[in-house]
Structure 1
Amino acid sequence: MTDGLETDVEGMDEIAERRNDLAARVRAHAGEIARELAVLQGGDYGQETFETDGGEWTLKYEAGDVDYLRFDPNSGAETYVVSSKQPPEPEALETAMADYGSFVRAYNEYVRSFDGLFADAPDDFPEVESTAELVAERDRIVNRVREVGNAMASQLHRYNGDYGTYATTISGTRWELKWDGDVASYLRVGGSDGVYLLSQYGPPAAPEVRRLVDDVPAFVEAFNEHVAELEADLDSVEF
């Protein structure tokens, strides 16, 4: 009799090696499909699911390469044929590989389904209207407003110090000019959420300029009245 200690133990190294070799070849092949999908979909990230008679295959790609390839058979547990973790069990891989060819054919049919997609797509488009003239006129008006704003800032600097704000109401809307030295930092119309007719950034949209520019003279007149009142106050001082 024997207690079994002298019985040879079958090694798994050869099976594991074949499994690893097959898994590596599948990863490389599925990687080609992942790159093609990324090109087709126009992005580096995404996934597609393909149905076969044997089940569903889901390929997720990331940065133009396969992230995982999952086989969900009609019966039995799903298998990650390709993943960032360890390779699948040999039997699970064998079951999945029996349907792998169907997966590739389903992918090829998916790609062929787009044949002729752009056959009737137009490649002749209408001329695009230029905004150059409109923008030039908008900038001319805004530059003129800036000249006026800087002139007001210079006077406010003389009377009220290096920086501050002057605000008044025109046509029921708040107009606020902020000065920094002799320069207008901004001219805002409509409160904190209003339109910056002048700012350190770009000019406002042309329709906004057109909407507000008619009230600029009234704003200047209100400012002039403000200055006249200041001068009258100073004239009344006696020593």
Structure 2
Amino acid sequence: MTEGVDFDVASAEEIAGQRDEVVAAVTDHAGTVARELALLQGGDYGQETFKTNAGKWTLKYEAGTVQYLRFKGKAGGETYVVSSQQPPDPDELATAMRDYDAFVRAYNDFVRSKEGVLDDVEIDFPAVESTDTVVSERDRVVGRIREVADVMAGELHRYDGVDYGTFTARVNGKRWELKREESRASYLRVGGQGGTYLVSQYEPPSAPDVRELADDFRDFVAEFNEYVDELEADLGHVTL
């Protein structure tokens, strides 16, 4: 082991401090750009790239704060001037900062290019027709369908003697299912799983669906009545 060796180790503290000071200033200034971009683009998240003679700058933001500011020079390589990871190399930072003013000018030009873009947009929109009449008619028809479905559920409850049950039939190639709880219809669904609910405990069906299926509901009731007639015929043969 060599004794008495005395090498001077250069301190990087001053250079690192200068670098951190520059990065802090850029972060603060670019934060203003990020907030303005968020306002312009109408969202808390996004990114934009700005071209300069020396390369490209990409600013990514989240909730109006800078996520990163990246400079990619035409000569190659890229520098994260602002980053949530490690700070940039001082030499690379110095190269990027020589083009920072050009980045700001590119951003300003970008904003100015949007000025007046909405000046000739017409906001005198046509009147919006009310759906009151259509909705009222839909509710009237659906209400009547529910009334009939409840009657059917009541008859099934009387016959089956249990609190829950279903009645299904095929009408014009579609599966109709009436599910009941005691004497009340829980739902009337057309088309199987993922089909249209003419009666449900949630939102009503659309008016076009009601218009399409209302006539078929008559056939569904006819199928139910035929089912009941068959039951009566079967019971007619019972002797005691």
Structure 1: how far apart are the matches of 2:205 and 2:4?
90
Q: How many residues align?
A: 237
Map 1:104-143; keep pairs closer than 5 Å. Answer: 104-143=104-143
Say if 2:31 is the partner of 1:36: no
Structure 2: how far apart are the matches of 1:87 and 1:50?
22
User: Which 4+ stretches in 1 moved above 6 angstroms?
Assistant: none
What letter corresponds to residue 13 of structure 1 in structure 2?
E
Map 1:77-226; keep pairs closer than 5 Å. Answer: 77-160=77-160, 161-226=162-227
> Residue by residue, what CA displacement relative to the aligned partner does 1:65-88 show, whole Å, maximum 9, x if unpaired?
111111111224211100001211
Task: Give the TM-score, by structure 1 length.
Answer: 0.93
Alpha-carbon shift at residue 7 of structure 1 (Å): 6.5
- Identity percentage over the alignment? 59
Structure 2: how far apart are the matches of 1:93 and 1:101?
14
Q: 1:5 to 1:167 in 2, by over 3 A?
A: same
Structure 1: how far apart are the matches of 2:142 and 2:75?
72
> Residue by residue, what CA displacement relative to the aligned partner does 1:202-225 show, whole Å, maximum 9, x if unpaired?
111101101111122222222122
Structure 2: how far apart are the matches of 1:220 and 1:53?
77
Secondary structure of the corresponding residue to residue 96 of structure 2: helix
Alpha-carbon shift at residue 135 of structure 1 (Å): 0.5
What letter corresponds to residue 102 of structure 1 in structure 2?
A
Task: Quote the RMSD (CA, aligned, Å).
Answer: 1.8
Alpha-carbon shift at residue 15 of structure 1 (Å): 1.6
> Which range moves more in the overlay, 133-142 or 190-199?
190-199
Structure 1: how far apart are the matches of 2:163 and 2:215?
29
What letter corresponds to residue 163 of structure 1 in structure 2?
Y
Stretches of structure 2 lacking an aligned partner (at least 5 in a row): none
Structure 1: how far apart are the matches of 2:4 and 2:124?
83
Q: 1:75 to 1:162 in 2, by over 3 A?
A: same
Alpha-carbon shift at residue 93 of structure 1 (Å): 1.0
Structure 1: how far apart are the matches of 2:173 and 2:21?
79
Q: 1:99 to 1:224 in 2, by over 3 A?
A: same
Map 1:62-73; keep pairs closer than 5 Å. Answer: 62-73=62-73
> Residue by residue, what CA displacement relative to the aligned partner does 1:182-229 show, whole Å, maximum 9, x if unpaired?
111111223334321112221111011011111222222221222122
> Residue by residue, what CA displacement relative to the aligned partner does 1:24-63 show, whole Å, maximum 9, x if unpaired?
0101111111111111111111111111111111111122
Task: Give the TM-score, by structure 2 length.
Answer: 0.92
Secondary structure of the corresponding residue to residue 114 of structure 1: coil
